[in-house]
Structure 1
Amino acid sequence: MKIRLTSVYVDDQAVAERFYTDVLGFVKKHDVPVGGRDRWLTVVSPDDPDGPELLLEPAGHPAARAYREALVAEGIPLAQFAVADVRAEYARLRGLGVRFTQEPVEAGPVTVAVLDDTCGNLIQLVTEPG
């Protein structure tokens, strides 16, 4: 068994697509209309194009909105992305105007930082020891 797909609920798929591809550096994998304005829109790591996909799912359902709002209110990230160097990625993303809710900090054997994805979620970046 392996993870094939996971989701983040987003307020606006067009905004999310730009942020996750142009800013974070993911690559669009699927973009299929599914009715109205909604799309089956997934992104993947450019380092693993056949790996797990991240679905940028519309957050229209009231349960999704309440869940995300509760997580953000508590400062809890919805997802975690691994990066080679959190401090370098923090500097790169800050240079692009990304807002962080937590600067890089050592947390035991890992370094973590938390960013606002502009789409209603907090995302944690992590670097694990070599």
Structure 2
Amino acid sequence: MNNTSHSRAVRFLSGLFYFFSIFVLIALPGHLHSQWIPQSIPVNEPMLGLEFVNETIGWAITYNSSTSDTAYIIQTTNGGMNWHIQFRGDVGLYCIDALDDNICYAGGADTSGFAIFLKTTNGGLNWESPI
């Protein structure tokens, strides 16, 4: 192989590499984001906290002090495809922590600004203040 054909081969391979690099940079981000599917929740408030205990069961809290003083605890049992309301109260909830599919804690403040702490031990059927 002489220098001319070697130079052409290097230029061809460089161009091919450049083309595929650009193709990957354009195609890859769309492919990575294609795994995310938008879901809707049963309330029109921003979600402030989200906690999943496995790939199907999770809880979330919603609250927006500028539009209402009502907070919601919502739960999914199918990976977020559907959500249902488990708790509604005139409080501000700001954090949530789930230990397993039965035990979950939520914390925040009531309308007077005093701390509120909620707990469920039965998967969200009942929410009580342990303190």
Higher-Rg structure is 2
TM bin, normalised by shorter chain, reads under 0.3
Comparing both chains, which one has the higher relative contact order based on Cα–Cα distances under 8 Å and sequence gaps of 6 or more? 1
TM-score norm. by structure 2 comes to 0.24
TM-score norm. by structure 1 comes to 0.24
